[in-house]
Amino acid sequence: MAVMASIWLIVKGPDTPDGLPFVDESTTTTSTSDVDIDPTTTTTGDQPGDTSTTTSTSSTDGSDPGVDQTTTTSEPTAPETTFGPAPAGPSTSIGNSPEETIPPGSPSSSTPAPAPPATVPETPTTTVPTTTVPTTNEPEGRQLVFAEEFDSFNPRIWSVENSTYGDGNNELQCYTPEQVTVANGSLVLRAEARTVTCPNGSTRDVTSGMVRSRGVEFAPGQSIEFRVKLTPDDEANQAGLWPAVWSSSWAGGWPTGGEWDGLEVMTANNPRRSVYSIHYANSAGQHAKTSKEVVQAENFSANWHVVRFDYGDDGVLTWYLDGTVVSVVDAADTVQGWPAPFNQAMTELKINLALGGNPGPLDPRALPATFEVDYIRIYSS
């Protein structure tokens, strides 16, 4: 557990999931591409993964093929009205000892009056602020080791995307810092129709928000939990929204280095479904994925949802939606041999609201839309 104590945040307390019962669950499927991974070839890929079968290979620099390699991804300082620095901790002041003074009207004769008993100035007490690590003992014995409650935007933990990341999936958006805010205790990624010039010089008609974590590791033997809400402008016409919480390439270039999709919602095909997947290179050196779709009675956007993922150190990966187990993966034909690469710490979390692309076209009536994250918590088992 490599999370440093300087990033502990105060836990607001448990939240009650308010999702709806599931009415249909698809079976776990595995899809593979038919192109060998060629490290000398740059092609597009599936990031995060669409549930349809796709063909993809690693990029020449080992980066995720979802990013436009001609685009410079920057981490600009966000506007003051949008982001503020992390709240400063209490300061400690050490005062000087009281100085001895001659009271007014003291005798000035050569024979001084008897001096009062000498008093020793009280030594100032220095109170050193302590960092309280929030701990929660869950019924199953989990202990909280990291919590981001989004009471403010902390640039020590999060960087803001400024690029056309996702070009490999034919996505429409340009990610800009203005689309990322913190409000009412939640991270808010806002997508809207607005013409912007992107860092690579291209012009896009829609913009959205994305963040990446810094210095936060999520390792086997731990579980991660997050509470999210998707809100389209038109609940009945929201096709083309693609929010995700995910990680990739922690063990090398994609897909050999792995991809974990903690949550994806692709409203173009069905706004009632959510998707839980892993991506990897199979024993033949081809891109493959194991994916599970869950369909609910109402649109995913109708409620807040709590997603939990147990990163088993025994090679068992388990997803929960609103307290119900929705997917378990305990084997896959990875080129390294299971459970690799899903036996190493993930070193970067990504949260984004993509638009259009491979899952299906964007309905303009869906915008503006937001993807909110109330909290992210990591537990040890």
Domains of the chain: 19-82+154-380 (2.60.120.200)
Count of C-beta atoms within a 10 Å radius of residue 165:
24
Residue 61 CA: distances (Å) to CA of 39, 196, 253, 283, 288: 8, 28, 8, 22, 20
* Phi then psi dihedrals of residue 84, to 5 deg: -125, 160
Nearest to 366 by CA among 317, 295, 299, 293: 299
Q: Residue 348 corresponds to which tokens in the numbers above? A: 């970067």
What is the model's pLDDT at position 381?
81
Which segment of 33-37, 112-116, 212-216, 336-340 scores lowest on mean pLDDT? 33-37
Beta 174-175 vs 203-208: how paired, if at all? parallel
pLDDT value at 125 more than 80: no
- pLDDT confidence band for 46 (50 / 70 / 90): very low
What mean pLDDT is predicted for residues 345-369? 98
In angstroms, what is the C-alpha Rg of the chain? 26
What mean pLDDT is predicted for residues 186-204? 98
What is the model's pLDDT at position 48?
52
> What are the pLDDT digits (tens) for 210-250?
999 999 999 999 999 999 999 999 999 999 999 999 999 99
| CB-CB contact of 249 with 63 (8 Å) | yes
pLDDT value at 198 more than 80: yes
Which segment of 136-140, 311-315, 365-369 scores lowest on mean pLDDT? 136-140
Helix (H) or strand (E) holding 36: strand 29-36
pLDDT value at 309 more than 80: yes
pLDDT value at 140 more than 90: no
What is the model's pLDDT at position 129?
32
What mean pLDDT is predicted for residues 304-321? 97
What is the model's pLDDT at position 324?
98
pLDDT value at 337 more than 60: yes
* Phi then psi dihedrals of residue 135, to 5 deg: -130, 140
Which segment of 98-102, 329-333, 360-364 scores lowest on mean pLDDT? 98-102
pLDDT value at 35 more than 50: no
> What are the pLDDT digits (tens) for 73-103?
334 343 333 333 333 333 333 333 333 333 3
pLDDT value at 265 more than 50: yes
Q: What is the mean pLDDT of the chain?
A: 75
What is the model's pLDDT at position 141?
82
Which segment of 91-95, 304-308, 344-348 scores lowest on mean pLDDT? 91-95
Count of C-beta atoms within a 10 Å radius of residue 66:
24
What is the model's pLDDT at position 108?
37
Q: Residue 371 corresponds to which tokens in the numbers above? A: 């993807």
